[in-house]
Structures are given as structure tokens and as C-alpha cells.
Amino acid sequence: MRPPAQPRSSGARLVVLVPLLWLACFFLLPALIVLKISLSQPAVAQPPYAPTLDLAAGWAGLKEFLAGLSFDNYVLLATDPLYVGSYLKSLKVAALSTLALLAVGYPLAYAMARAPRRLQGFLLLLVILPFWTAFLIRIYAWMTILQRDGLLNQALLALGIIDTPVTWLASDTAVYIGIVYSYLPFIVLPIYASLERIDPTLLEAAADLGCTPTQAFWRVTVPLSLPGVMAGATICFIPIVGEFVVPDLLGSSATMMIGQTLWAEFFANRDWPLAAAVAIVMLVLLIAPLVLYEHLQARFMASER
Amino acid sequence: MTEPLGADAGAAATAGGRPLLRFENVTKRFGAYTAIDRLSIDIRQGEMFALLGPSGCGKSTLLRLAAGFERPDEGRILLDGQDMADTPPHLRPINMMFQSYALFPHMTVAGNIAFGLKQDGLPRAVIAERVAEAVALLRLEGLEKRRPDQLSGGQRQRVALARALVKRPKVLLLDEPLGALDKKLRDEMQAELAALQRRLGATFVIVTHDQQEALSLADRLAVMDRGRVAQIGRPGEVYERPASVYVASFMGDVNLLEGTVARADAGGLQVDCGAAGYVRVTQPKACEIGGRVWIAVRPEKLSLERARPEDMTLNAVRGTVEAISYHGPTSLVSVRTGDGLLLRSAAVHGAADASTPAVGETVWLTWAPATGVLLDH
Amino acid sequence: MHKGLSATTATALALGMAFLYLPILVLVVYSFNASRLVTVWGGWSTRWYAALLEDAALIEAASISLRVAALSATVATVLGTLAAVALVRFGRFRGRLVLSALVYAPIVMPEVITGLSLLLLFVAVNIDRGFWTVTISHTTLTMCFVVLIVQSRLVRFDMSLEEAAMDLGCPPLRTFLTITLPLIWPAVASAWLLAFTLSLDDLVIASFTTGPGATTLPIRIYSDVRLGVKPEINAVCTLMIATVAAALILTSLVTKGADARRR
């Protein structure tokens, strides 16, 4: 397609400016404030951190403000095993649950793409629908199922698979179940989209050229669905790292994920600067997978051309 | 319209027509790609002008420049002497019939046709009257309440035409107007479109990649090549007297003989074509003796003979029939000459059809010197 | 490939759908449980729904959530549609990269960070936290999802329709309102609905940005749920699911109706 015309009129400029300014005010600016406050110290005051920038004091005020900033919070994060452990735990949970999501989501997406055409729209709707019910509700539903006298234990006892009730809640298993459950649509949709785009004649061509269905799957279908896999994995991995609700309701309190740590620093300890530093470090950690994703995607696009 | 109806009626009417739409040294780039390259064309009042070329030659871009959807990087586009640079599409007295028709799917046929008139703020009664007029003109009676997806391809095409014409534009742009129709319908609509244009005396600019369509529809046409005009002229001129090898081969099947100018005399030029011998061309074109040239001859100008003809003024080349492909009214006979050149002759199937040779037979291809065209190497 | 449903495909689909829907089904069924013990079935009853009607705090929270959701979804739909139009229609303009980065970042950004940063902004500029701060925060998050939905519809939109309208004398803004908007409005409507439910669902961002007197429904549910499973909560959740389901059905009926009329 030809590139459309440049915005010329003032009306067109407004179309760009209004959302741009909104996001600059309520997304970009707050991120900068977080950065600033992460360099401050907690104080028993309102707001509960120091120094605060006093614009009325002019240059001197700015100087004093800059002098008051420090990297103490970051030093603490890097040296205290509590925080390091929390970050590592988050990354581990995110990595393993992304793998689990792929293991569950790929077959589901593949089955959807192989279903009869007229069913596919309906199946797609079925996968999206749970996403419209509240996250909190879906996690709460699992609390009912996983608790000590919950349905899962009742079922397993009745089937004679276990003799005594298993403690599911407050465990890592419960966290993985909860995450896979609530993020499943996010991984199924992009994979399905890339599978559905594959021209069926490609598989016929592969068969014609001597591929068994299994070989065709691994040599044609899987490589062509990789963009969807990468997109899905990225979309899931990043928010899972900062996940709060699932580990808080389903997990144990032994090792907290970093989202919980941030929440605790903020709400329980009222150490806003440290919470801000936790957030900044989390962001930095998350930039790496995003850059990797962009890179892989660019390479894939280039190879497709 | 009082002009006489005849083969050249349109051309006669437009011969003295003043330039209405003028492209002056227009250049349009998309990034590093130059779509239109310093192009100048004058389109005259009341003519049917065709922009012809293969896909990617810039013909559609030229149309979009005229409509105002693209802005030229250099040069000017003048309508009636007025520079259109600062006039946005919705204020230009030019209307376009889109290749996809671009009928509004959420409006009826009548709604689509009335849309442009409503934008002009015309009174309701006037709109109704002009819509009815356009509906009658394009034989859309009874379809006014339908939605575009309830129409056949041909009906959609006519609605799109009606919608653009009802605004009485100074220039009507048509982007591959018949491209989406099947062969039979296309031939019908071709005639209808030409009749309509003549009846309205309007200026039509039509973009097409089909040289047959351009030849039969246009008063004048421009053959485009990579953003430039390769030749402008009346259909007959462009077909019979192509200005370059590109135009000759784009405008239909052509035989090309390569040679060196050997002699020039009052009767024309003698060109040494190697194994094909000396070929005579009667084109009064200044040529250097010893220069390399092409001679272009259309297959229908070549006759097949079993023996060398008596008439020594005719050009004659000997060869062996290699293939015959049947095309209904004609057959295309491919003849391989001594030096490996493949020439094609279109033989019309007459009543006495004994003369069609068989594959492997030795034949003579002959043609009159006046039918060949000399082209620069 | 798309001829019939093979046994393996059917099994995979059945397992997947069971995994997705059983927990929700369990929740709904147990909301009608007569027993106070959540896991013991005591027969059908609507007593927990009746109990909800007397819980004034819960009703207040629900009303706040609904108002926040309706308002923020509406503003987000307008802002998000504008941004989608800019990204799809204006080609390469100055600020395009910034705008597209700012649109995608909040979608992948962990909610705790978004919530924390918005709170720190409100504190820094000294705004009293409450209804309006939650609404602004939800607008910011949900407008990005609106952009995604409207953008994907606009990309498929046949540009020549807009060009045809302008060619026929329609100025750009009127073209958008009379041609583009009527044709993409099912997408705009579902974007609004998504924004509405995302706002209705959000716990984390609301927890950070709310203030006294503006406890939303999820915050309320969360504080109860932390203490364990309660039948009243099952009833609330069922009502929320029912609300969203009703809205979904309504939207699809309305947009289907529009499609049918077009046909």
C-alpha cells in the first residue's frame, strides 16, 4: 500500500495530540516520577519520602534536591538476599509458567486451527470469553477447587488416587495452575492466528514431496507458527514477572514474587522510595525479553521477505 | 450533441480542444522509489484519454495525483489553468471511479449516488432529480433501494459510474473501470462507456493495462513506462507507428528484426539484417548509414507464401514453419529463419484455406516496406 | 485440513474448554449452595444473593465500580479510537514512534508498576485520591486495548471508501463520521465493552490509585477473599459474570442486527 497523506490540518494534529498528551501525562510522566522517587529516602511525612522538589525555591531548591538523591535503595536491592531471591523467584515462575502455557496452549490452538472452518469462530469465542470475567474471580474459583476440602481433593479421594487430602493451596503448584489458567487466552490467540494463516496447500505440498504428517508438522507448521509463539510467550512472560494477585491468593508466603514484594513495601512498610526502586529494577529486567522479541521478530520478517 | 457519428467523431471534436487537465513536469516518489518521473501530459476538454501501461508503471499514481490523494514532489497539476496543489480532494471538481468501486456498503444504491450531491448542499428536490437522471442514464431503475452487496458485478460498476458522473465533474477519472468484469460484459460495457462519454461530451481519463481496451476506447492514449510517458498519440498512430521497441511490444505482438542501415534512397532505407537479407523500410526517418536499428513488423502484416513472390518491392524472408497456434479467427504461424530468428505471422482463416502450411514446411514471409517501422537500437 | 473433527482434535478441544470453563461453572453452581460450608453441597438456594442485598458496603462498591467503568471506558474509547486513526491513517508523522510505544507499553507493563507510578504522580501533583484518580488510571490502561481492537479493524478497512467520499466532496472529518465510523462501529463497541470489563475487573491499579470513600468492587472482594472462601463472594462473582455475559450478548446482538440490516 501507498503511505497515506501526511496530517495537514489542525484537526488531524488534534487526533494525534490528544491521546499522545494523555499518555505522556499519565504514563510517561509517572514513570519518570517513579525513577526520581526511587532515588529518594523514606520519611515520616506527607508525602512519605524526602527530598521533595520545591520549585518555589528556584535554583537553590533544585541543587538541594539533587544533593539529597542517592542510590541507597538500589544498593539495598542488590545486596539483600530477600530482594534478590524475590526477583529470581519471579523470573523462574514466569519462565516455567510460560513453558507450561506453551505446552497447554499450542495443542489447543492447533486443535482449533484444525477444527472445521464453521466451528472455528465459535471456538475462538469460547477461548476469549473467560478473559471477559474478572481475573480476581477466576483465581477465586481456583481457591474453591484447590482448598483442603475442595473439589480437587474430594475427586482424587473418591477416585482412590490419594488417601489423605493434599495441600494444594499456598504452594507453587497452585500458582502455576492459576497463572496458566488466567493467561491461557493470551497464548492461544496469537498462536492460533499464526496457525490459521498457514496455507493448507503448503502441507499438501510437503506431503507431495514425501513428508510424513509428523515431519510436515515439525518442518512446516511449527516454523511458520513461530511468530505467534514468540508473540504469545512475550505477552505472557512480562506481566507474569510482575504478577501479584495469583501468588498472593494461591501461593505460599515463603518466597514472595517481586510484585508481592513491591506491594508489601508500599502498603505494609510504607517505604515508597524502595517500592519505586523495586519497580525500576523490574522494568530494566523486562526490557531484555522485549528487545530479544523485537530482534527475533525483525529477523523473522526479514527471512520471510 | 450534433457532431456526426463516425469512427473519428470523438477525435474530430477534440482535435482543437483546449488543455483541461495538465501535468507539468510532475515527479512523485515513495521513499527511494520514483513512481512518476518528470512527466508532462495535456488532457483536452471533451476527450477520452487512456493511460496505458503494465502494472507498476505509475498510471494509477497519476490518477491519484489528479484526484488529490497524493501530492506531487515536484511539478504542477493544472485544472483549467488553476494549480491544484493546495486543493484537497474533496474540493476538486474531479471525480473518480475506483477500481474496487468503493461503494459505501452501509448505503443503498440511491444513497451512494446521492452522497456527492449532498456534500454540495444541493436542495433535496434537485438531488432527487439528478439521482433519477443518473439512474436512468445507467439503467439502474428498480435497484435504487438495494445495498451494494445485493448487486451483480456489472450493476456495481454502473452504480460506481453513476455516483461519479452525477456530480458533473470537469474530469472523470476511471481506474481500471472494466477490470473486474468478465470478458463478455467487459466488451458490452466498453461500447456503453464510449457512447456515454460521447453523449455527455465529458472528459474521461481511463487507466488500463489492457491495450485492446485502450485502443478501442480512447481518442488519445499515453503509453507509460516506469513513471514516464513512452508515447502519446491517437490509437492508430501508437499501434501503427510505435516510437520505441517498448511501445511496439507493449501494444501487441510484434516481430523485431535487428540490422544495420546499409543504404538510403528516395524510396526509403535498406537495412542489412544478416541472414534474413536486405530489408526495405519506407519510413522517412533520418538515419545514419551503418547505424544499428530495429525493424518492427506486426504479425498480421506478414504474408505466408510457398514460393518467393514475383514482386521484388516486397520484403521476403525464407524459413521453416516451427509451430502453428490456433486462435479462432486467425492462426499464428511461427517461422524459424536461417539465422535462428523466430518470426510470427497471423494468417486469417479465409474461405479458401488451402494455403495454411504444415509444420516443417519451408515458406517465405513477405511484407510491404511501408508496414515496417524503424526503431532506434 | 478443515473437513471433519478428528478424535484427537476433539479431545484436545474438549480438555482445553473443560479447563477453561469448569472452574467458572463450579463457582456459579456453588453460589446457589444452601450450605455455609463452601465445599459441602446443601441443596439449591438463593440465600447468598438475598444476603448481598443487605450488604450496603458491597452495593456501594459495586455502584462505584460500575460508574468508574462506564466513564473510563467511554473516555478510553474516544482517546483510543483517535490514537488508532492516527497510527493507521497518518503514515509516518512526527511522534508516531513515541505514540505507538506509549500505546503498547501499558499493555505489557506489570500492573503493580502502572499502579505505583500513577499513584506517585497523583501524590506529586497533590490530587486527592478517589473516584477521579481511579477513573483516570483505568482510562489510561484501557485506552491502549481500545487502540489494539480499533487499529486491527482500521487496517482491514478499505481505504478507497474514504477516498471515494472525499472525492465526492466530503471533508475529512465528515468522512470519518459518515463513512468510517458507521462501518467500524462494531469494533468500537466491542472495544468499549472490553474497556468496561477491564475496568470492572481491575484490582491492582485501583488499589494503588483509590482513596477514602472510593472502594471498588474488586478491592472489596479481595479483602474478603484473603480471609478465605465465602459463599457470598460466589454470589457476587456470579453476578459479575452475568453482567458481563449480558453485555456481551447485547453487543453481539446489536452489531449482528446492524450487519443484518446492511445485508
pLDDT given at position A3:
40
- Of all residues in chain C, the one with the smallest CA distance to A7 is C90
Whether C170 and B115 lie within 8 Å, measured CB to CB = yes
pLDDT given at position A98:
96
User: Distance between CA atoms of B6 and B13, rounded to whole angstroms?
Assistant: 11
pLDDT given at position B304:
85
- Of all residues in chain C, the one with the smallest CA distance to B64 is C163
Condensed to tens digits (0 to 9), the pLDDT of residues B328-375 reads 888 888 998 877 778 888 877 654 455 677 888 888 888 988 888 888
pLDDT given at position B218:
93
Exposure string (b/e) for A33-66, b if CB count within 10 Å is 16 or more? bbbbbbbbbbeeeeeebebbeeeeeeeeeeeebe
CB B181 within 8 A of CB B157: yes
In this predicted structure, the answer to whether residue B47 has a pLDDT above a threshold of 70 is yes
pTM comes to: 0.79
Determine the average pLDDT of the residues in A92-118.
92
Which residue type does A218 have?
Answer: W
Q: From chain B, pick out residues whose CB is under 8 angstroms from the CB of C157.
A: none
Determine the average pLDDT of the residues in B163-192.
89
pLDDT given at position B14:
44
Whether B69 and A3 lie within 8 Å, measured CB to CB = no
Q: Residue B15: which pLDDT band, with cuts at 50, 70 and 90? A: very low
Q: How many C-beta atoms lie closer than 10 Å to residue B184's C-beta?
A: 8
Determine the average pLDDT of the residues in A218-228.
89
Whether A5 and B30 lie within 8 Å, measured CB to CB = no
Question: Highest-confidence range of B143-157, B274-288, C227-241, by mean pLDDT?
Answer: B143-157
Q: Residues of B at the A interface (Cβ-Cβ below 8 Å)?
A: 30, 61, 64, 69-71
Q: Residue A117: which pLDDT band, with cuts at 50, 70 and 90? A: confident
Cα A204 to Cα A199, A215, C5, C9, distances in angstroms: 9, 12, 18, 19
- Of all residues in chain B, the one with the smallest CA distance to A5 is B70
Q: Residue B144: which pLDDT band, with cuts at 50, 70 and 90? A: very high
CB B363 within 8 A of CB B335: yes
Torsional sign, CA B181, B185, B187, B192: negative
- Of all residues in chain A, the one with the smallest CA distance to B89 is A5
Domains by residue range for chain B, with CATH: 7-248 (3.40.50.300), 253-375 (2.40.50.140)
Determine the average pLDDT of the residues in B164-190.
89
Give the one of B68, B105, B115 whose C-beta lies nearest to C168's C-beta: B115
C33-72 residues touching B, CB cutoff 8 A: none
CB A106 within 8 A of CB C1: no
pLDDT given at position A270:
84
Whether B69 and A5 lie within 8 Å, measured CB to CB = yes
Determine the average pLDDT of the residues in A249-260.
86
Cα B226 to Cα A5, B27, B39, B222, distances in angstroms: 22, 12, 11, 13
Q: Residue B7: which pLDDT band, with cuts at 50, 70 and 90? A: very low
**Can you tell me which residue has the cell 513428508?**
A211
* Angstroms from A85 CA to nearest CA on chain B: 51
B135-154 residues touching C, CB cutoff 8 A: 147, 149-150
pLDDT given at position A38:
87
Q: How many residues belong to chain B?
A: 377
Condensed to tens digits (0 to 9), the pLDDT of residues B285-335 reads 667 788 888 889 999 888 888 888 888 888 888 889 988 888 888 888 899
* Angstroms from A13 CA to nearest CA on chain B: 16
Give the one of C158, C166, C172 whose C-beta lies nearest to B100's C-beta: C158
Least confident of A148-162, B273-287, C86-100, C212-226: B273-287
Give the one of A16, A184, A245 whose C-beta lies nearest to C93's C-beta: A16
For residue A187, the surrounding DSSP H or E stretch is: helix A172-196
pLDDT given at position C251:
76
Q: Residue B43: which pLDDT band, with cuts at 50, 70 and 90? A: very high
Q: Residue A220: which pLDDT band, with cuts at 50, 70 and 90? A: confident
User: Distance between CA atoms of C18 and A126, rounded to whole angstroms?
Assistant: 11
- Of all residues in chain C, the one with the smallest CA distance to A276 is C116
Count of B-C CB contacts under 8 Å? 72
In this predicted structure, the answer to whether residue B126 has a pLDDT above a threshold of 90 is yes
In this predicted structure, the answer to whether residue B6 has a pLDDT above a threshold of 50 is no
Average pLDDT across chain B, whole number: 86
pLDDT given at position A198:
86
* Angstroms from A92 CA to nearest CA on chain C: 16
Q: How many C-beta atoms lie closer than 10 Å to residue C25's C-beta?
A: 11
List chains adjacent to chain A, taking adjacency as at least 3 C-beta pairs closer than 8 Å.
B, C
In this predicted structure, the answer to whether residue A93 has a pLDDT above a threshold of 90 is yes
Torsional sign, CA A286, A288, A289, A294: positive
Condensed to tens digits (0 to 9), the pLDDT of residues B206-226 reads 999 999 899 999 999 999 999
* Sequence-ordered list of residues with C-beta below 8 angstroms from that of B329, at least 6 positions apart, any chain: B348, B349
Give the one of C20, C86, C117 whose C-beta lies nearest to A15's C-beta: C86
Condensed to tens digits (0 to 9), the pLDDT of residues C68-84 reads 999 999 999 999 999 99
Share of chain C above pLDDT 70, in %: 94
In this predicted structure, the answer to whether residue A226 has a pLDDT above a threshold of 70 is yes
Whether C160 and B106 lie within 8 Å, measured CB to CB = no
pLDDT given at position C247:
79
Backbone torsions φ then ψ of A207, nearest 5 degrees: -65, -40
At the second CATH level, the architecture of C55-262 is Orthogonal Bundle (1.10)
The CATH number fitting domain A71-304, selected from 1.10.645.10, 1.20.1250.20, 1.10.3720.10, 3.20.10.10: 1.10.3720.10
Which residue type does B307 have?
Answer: A
- Please tell me what DSSP assigns to residue B175: E
Q: From chain B, pick out residues whose CB is under 8 angstroms from the CB of C160.
A: 98-100, 102
pLDDT given at position C259:
58
Determine the average pLDDT of the residues in B118-139.
92
For residue C197, the surrounding DSSP H or E stretch is: helix C181-201
- Compare B272 and C41 and report the one with higher pLDDT: B272
* Angstroms from A303 CA to nearest CA on chain C: 23
pLDDT given at position A20:
92
Share of chain A above pLDDT 70, in %: 90
- Of all residues in chain C, the one with the smallest CA distance to A245 is C204
Q: From chain B, pick out residues whose CB is under 8 angstroms from the CB of C171.
A: 88, 90
For chain A, what are the domain ranges?
71-304
pLDDT given at position C52:
85
A1 Cβ under 8 Å from any chain B Cβ? no
User: Distance between CA atoms of A229 and A106, rounded to whole angstroms?
Assistant: 8
User: Distance between CA atoms of B365 and B354, rounded to whole angstroms?
Assistant: 17
Determine the average pLDDT of the residues in B247-266.
87
For residue A281, the surrounding DSSP H or E stretch is: helix A272-304
Strand pairing category for B171-175 and B94-97: parallel
Determine the average pLDDT of the residues in B248-266.
86
Average pLDDT across chain A, whole number: 84
Cell of A278: 523495586
- Of all residues in chain C, the one with the smallest CA distance to B171 is C167
User: Can you tell me whether residue C35 is helix, strand or coil?
Assistant: coil
Determine the average pLDDT of the residues in A118-141.
83
Q: From chain A, pick out residues whose CB is under 8 angstroms from the CB of B61.
A: 2
pLDDT given at position A4:
44
- Please tell me what DSSP assigns to residue C4: S
* Angstroms from C150 CA to nearest CA on chain B: 19
Whether C263 and B149 lie within 8 Å, measured CB to CB = yes
- Of all residues in chain B, the one with the smallest CA distance to C183 is B106
Q: From chain C, pick out residues whose CB is under 8 angstroms from the CB of B102.
A: 158, 160-161, 163-164
Q: How many C-beta atoms lie closer than 10 Å to residue B329's C-beta?
A: 8
Q: Residue B40: which pLDDT band, with cuts at 50, 70 and 90? A: very high
In this predicted structure, the answer to whether residue A133 has a pLDDT above a threshold of 50 is yes
Whether B69 and C163 lie within 8 Å, measured CB to CB = yes
Determine the average pLDDT of the residues in A242-269.
88
pLDDT given at position B349:
66
pLDDT given at position B354:
53
For chain C, what are the domain ranges?
55-262
C91 Cβ under 8 Å from any chain B Cβ? no
Q: Residue A1: which pLDDT band, with cuts at 50, 70 and 90? A: very low
Condensed to tens digits (0 to 9), the pLDDT of residues C128-150 reads 889 999 999 999 999 999 999 99
Rg (CA), chain B: 25
Find which of A132, A176, A220 to mutate to test the C interface (most C CBs within 10 Å of its CB).
A132
- Of all residues in chain B, the one with the smallest CA distance to A9 is B88
Give the one of A5, A181, A259 whose C-beta lies nearest to C110's C-beta: A259
* Angstroms from C47 CA to nearest CA on chain A: 19
In this predicted structure, the answer to whether residue B17 has a pLDDT above a threshold of 80 is no
- Of all residues in chain A, the one with the smallest CA distance to B33 is A2
Q: What is the side-by-side order of every strand in the sheet holding B33-44?
A: B33-44, B19-30, B74-79, B82-83
Q: Residue B1: which pLDDT band, with cuts at 50, 70 and 90? A: very low
Count of A-C CB contacts under 8 Å? 251
Cell of A96: 516455567
* Sequence-ordered list of residues with C-beta below 8 angstroms from that of B225, at least 6 positions apart, any chain: B53, B57, B246, B250
Determine the average pLDDT of the residues in C51-59.
86
Whether A104 and C16 lie within 8 Å, measured CB to CB = yes
- Compare A251 and A293 and report the one with higher pLDDT: A251
* Sequence-ordered list of residues with C-beta below 8 angstroms from that of B140, at least 6 positions apart, any chain: B109, B134, B155, B158, B159, B162
Cell of A33: 516520577
pLDDT given at position A2:
39
* Angstroms from B93 CA to nearest CA on chain A: 20
Query: Can you list the positions of beta strands (E) in chain B?
Result: 19-30, 33-44, 48-52, 74-79, 82-83, 94-97, 171-175, 203-208, 220-225, 228-233, 255-265, 268-272, 278-281, 292-297, 303-305, 315-326, 330-337, 342-348, 362-367, 373-376
Determine the average pLDDT of the residues in B93-99.
92
A3 Cβ under 8 Å from any chain B Cβ? yes
Backbone torsions φ then ψ of A11, nearest 5 degrees: -60, -45
Q: Give the residues across from A49 on adjacent strands.
A: A42
Q: Residue B12: which pLDDT band, with cuts at 50, 70 and 90? A: very low
Strand pairing category for B373-376 and B362-367: unpaired
C160-179 residues touching B, CB cutoff 8 A: 160-161, 163-172, 174-175, 179
